[in-house]
Amino acid sequence: MTVRQRGATAVFALAAALALLALWACRASPPSLAATEPAVAQRVIVESPSGRSASVRVEVARTDPERERGLMFRQELGADDGMLFVFPESSDHAFWMKNTFLPLDMIFIEKEGEGWGVVGIVANAEPMTPTPRGVGVPSRFVLEVNGGWSAAHGLARGDRVRFEGIGGH
């Protein structure tokens, strides 16, 4: 084999290796954000026995890493936006505000009868504090919204909760 043939073979081998590496990288990359966005808006609707209703657009935190990060480091949150923490089972959950810059209301939700209901509310949790906050009763979901949102919408223990666009409950 001549030097020229060896050079052509080496270039071909390098090109083939780069092509395989490019194919592997494309396959290993995470799906685009557009591919993971829900087709239906994700909302939590809270309804009182008197007929009052309030709706929150939510991001859903289902995995341990998503729940651990929560709303930490956020500089702002829309007036009717929030995060819904979904747990695999009901438990007496507690949250802290470490690295959370915004005061938050925490609305604890549990199965009640045929539906879901508010079992407790922590109002205006102080930002940037490590103090655990909970309501002392089991819940399967916790909805975090801007501090004061619950009072502004008249939320109370016993209000009914509906989920839209959120599977697995």
pTM to 2 decimals? 0.76
**Are 1 and 54 found together in one domain?**
no
**Number of separate domains in the chain:** 2
Q: Are residues 74 and 134 in the same domain?
A: yes
In this structure, the answer to whether residues 94 and 15 fall within a common structural domain is: no
How far does Cα 12 stand from its chain's mean position?
Answer: 47
- Which of 17-31, 81-95, 124-138 is predicted least confidently? 17-31
Q: Is the CB of residue 59 less than 8 Å from the CB of residue 165?
A: no
Task: Say whether both 5 and 56 belong to one domain.
Answer: no
- Of 40, 36, 46, residue with least CA distance to 66: 36
**Does residue 169 form part of some domain?**
no
Mean pLDDT over 70-89 rounds to 97
pLDDT at 151: 97
SS3 36: helix
**CATH number for the domain including 59?**
2.60.120.1140
Does residue 89 sit in the same domain as residue 155?
yes
Confidence of residue 157 (pLDDT cuts 50, 70, 90): very high
If asked whether residues 19 and 61 sit together in one domain, one would say: no
Q: Are residues 97 and 135 in the same domain?
A: yes
Where in the sequence is the domain holding 103, given as residue range(s)? 33-164
Q: pLDDT: is 169 or 26 the higher one?
A: 169
- Give the pLDDT confidence of 21-79 residue by residue, as tens digits: 444 444 433 333 333 444 568 999 999 999 999 999 999 999 999 999 999 999 999 99
125 in the same domain as 77: yes
pLDDT digits (tens, 9 = 90+) for 91-108: 999 999 999 999 999 999
The C-alpha atoms of residue 169 and residue 166 are separated, in whole angstroms, by 8
Residue 15 has pLDDT above 70, yes or no: no
In a domain, 131, yes or no: yes
* One domain for residues 68 and 117: yes
Question: How many helices and strands in the chain, by DSSP H and E?
Answer: 4, 7
